[in-house]
Structures are given as structure tokens and as C-alpha cells.
Amino acid sequence: MKRIGVLTSGGDAPGMNAAIRAIVRTAMYNKVEVFGIKRGYTGLLEQDIEPMNIYSVADIIHRGGTILRSSRSEYFKTEAGQKKGVKILNDYNIESLIVIGGDGSFKGAQALSNRGVNTIGIPGTIDNDIGCTDYSIGFDTALNTALDAIGKIRDTTSSHNRVNVVEVMGRDCGDIALFAGLAGGAESIIVPEQEYNLDIICEKLLKGKDRGKLHSIIILSEGAGSFDDLCKGIEERTGVVTRGTNLGYIQRGGSPSSFDRILASRMGNMAVNLLIEGQSSRVTCIRDNKYIDMGINEALEIEKKFDVEAYKISDILSI
Ligand code: F6P
């Protein structure tokens, strides 16, 4: 194996740069060439491909975003798109490809590997919605960004005796909401994985207020319902001024946490080593504190598990 390609795809996540750095440096250590493919599968199809070297990855371990940039490609989901992608990789003599991204990006890698390209997937998404790994690159940083914002919102919410609904990202996965809510002492956490009853949430808010609680923070995961309806519903039921804060894209940016940098460095290194060993169609994972790899087909079949115990604990602690 002489030449590998690397791309980042889907929503960017803090720590992707640390993974790219680890890939380039591990490859150089092993005398393997690396080509950076810009803008994910879109850049592959447009031949936006450049050789990388020691200078390409200098001074990036601490930077958010991805130096390779990212995209979501609809065309790459088609047979024609995938065939074109394989041809371009062949033209560049890139026999192996490392894809850093989420489930959707792994499906692209799976399609390429079915067409003879050696592929390795590295989980990178703030959503932490990939079933095969306990953590994906970017989740920890996004969680800490959300937590920092919740602390600030709590200050002003207390000063005004209000309720504040904080919407966080996560698509259909409630992990950012659950763990930011647990760590931030939220009164209620609303996630797509669990049903909720607004009357019960409001009763709890009023009981807290009667006891002298100055603020109430409700965390809403973006996939769990309408932000505006929730704010309105709470204010109507409780009569307490209810404001909303949608944290939005700040959760995707910023310097990666130490956890994400380490996770990314380990997984980037592992991905290159797997290719050097002659492995293909694998995904790097961390499970029960151990770094492992598994087949991409099996990885894509594993359903993401919601931590019901943590959810119950957060409810008990928020009385
Ligand atoms: O997958 C990461 C994520 O930030 C999700 O949490 C969110 O639903 C989505 O991407 C937003 O995507 P876009 O960048 O296309 O608006």
C-alpha cells in the first residue's frame, strides 16, 4: 500500500483536524503517501485532491472545523456517483481511503469498498449517534460547549426568575441533551428517545418555584419537538416568563477538548495501521474504554443505545 486518501464528510466536528494530522504523520512515518480530498465526496467527484505533507498538518491539532472542509453529497449516493468516485481514485492511484464522518459518510465508504477500494471509517460527529462506538470525535467538545452556555443562561435565568428552554443539536440522538442536562443540572431533559408529558414537566417547575427555586432550565434535543411550541406551552401552563435559546452551530465549532484530540489521534493512527496491515472495510471504535475495529457492515447495523439509566438519574436529581 503506497498511497492513501483522506476526506472529512457530513457535519464537521471538533477533533477532525487532530485525526487528519494523525493520519498524515502515521503515514509519513511508514513511508506511505497521503492525498487530502477536499469537501468530502463532492470534492472527490470534482477531483479537488492534493498531496499532503508534514507542513499540511502543522499547527492544526487545536483547531476546530476541518482543514479538508466538508460537504454532504446527494450524487455520491447514486451508482453513477460511486462509479465516478472509484475511477477518480484509480486515476490518482489512491488505493485506500480513510473517511472521517458519521453514519451517512460510512455508507459512502461501504459503497466504495464494495467496488474494490480499501476503506476505513473514523467516527466524527458531534451527535454521538454512531452505534458501534461509545464516543465519536467532536461529541465531548460539543457537550462542553453546550454546558458552558447552559451555565451562562442559568445566571441570567436566575436573576429574572424565568424558565429558559435550551435547544441543542444531535439530530435524532439525545446524547448532547442528556449529558449537558445531567452535567448542567437541568430541571428537565427532552430527547427523541423518551416520551415526555408537558403537564408533568410544568408541575415540577411550579413546585420548584414554590420552594424558592430561582430558575428552571429545560434542555430540548433538536429531534424531540418544536422549540417554539415548547416555550409557548410552558409559559401558558405555568404563567412564568419563558425564554428560549437555540445553541445552534456554536456546538460544531471551537478548539477540541483533550478527550477529542486524544480520541482523534488514536483513531487516525489506528486507521493507517489497519490499512498497512492489509485490512479494509473497517471502522475504528472505542468501546468500554478499549480501542477496537470492526467490519463496516456490522458497524452500520449496530443500533445506537440510549443511556436510560443516566436519563433516570437526571430526573431524580432534578426534583
Ligand atoms: O450531524 C451534525 C449536525 O450538526 C446535527 O446535529 C444537525 O442536525 C445537522 O448536523 C445540521 O446540519 P447542517 O450543517 O446541514 O445544517
7: part of which helix (H) or strand (E)? strand 3-8
Residue type, 24: V
Q: Is 167 in the pocket of ligand 1 (CB under 6 A)?
A: no
Q: What is the pLDDT of residue 262?
A: 98
Query: Which ligand 1 atom is the nearest neighbour of the CA of 176?
Result: 6
Residue from 70, 73, 127 whose mutation best tests the ligand 1 pocket (most atoms within 8 A of CB): 127
pLDDT tens per residue across all 319 residues of the chain: 789 999 999 999 999 999 999 999 999 999 999 999 999 999 999 999 999 999 999 999 999 999 999 999 999 999 999 999 999 999 999 999 999 999 999 999 999 999 999 999 999 999 999 999 999 999 999 999 999 999 999 999 999 999 999 999 999 999 999 999 999 999 999 999 999 999 999 999 999 999 999 889 999 999 999 999 999 999 999 999 999 999 999 999 999 999 999 999 999 999 999 999 999 999 999 999 999 999 999 999 999 999 999 999 999 999 8
| All residues at 6 or more sequence positions from 292 whose CB lies less than 8 Å from its CB, including other chains | 284, 285, 286
Residue type, 27: A
Active site residue ranges:
127
Residue from 70, 168, 169 whose mutation best tests the ligand 1 pocket (most atoms within 8 A of CB): 169
- Walk me through the domains of the chain, giving residue ranges and CATH numbers: 3-138+256-301 (3.40.50.450), 142-249 (3.40.50.460)
Q: Is 63 in the pocket of ligand 1 (CB under 6 A)?
A: no
Residue type, 204: K
- Angle at 9 (CA atoms; ends 6, 10), nearest 5 degrees: 170
Q: What is the pLDDT of residue 86?
A: 98
Query: Which ligand 1 atom is the nearest neighbour of the CA of 102?
Result: 1
Q: What is the pLDDT of residue 1?
A: 73
Q: What is the pLDDT of residue 151?
A: 97
Q: Are strands 3-8 and 96-101 parallel, antiparallel or unpaired?
A: parallel
Q: How many CB atoms are closer than 10 A to CB 168? A: 31
Residue from 70, 252, 304 whose mutation best tests the ligand 1 pocket (most atoms within 8 A of CB): 252
Is the ipTM above a cut-off of 0.90? yes
* Cα–Cα distance measured from residue 252 to residue 199, given in angstroms and rounded to the nearest whole number: 33
88: part of which helix (H) or strand (E)? helix 79-91
Query: Which ligand 1 atom is the nearest neighbour of the CA of 252?
Result: 4
C-alpha 11 to ligand 1 mean position (Å) = 6
Strand order in the sheet with 163-168: 188-190, 216-221, 163-168, 242-246
Q: Is 127 in the pocket of ligand 1 (CB under 6 A)?
A: yes
Q: Is 108 in the pocket of ligand 1 (CB under 6 A)?
A: no
* Alpha carbon separation from 181 to 34, 99, 184, 220, 225 (Å, rounded): 41, 31, 5, 9, 17
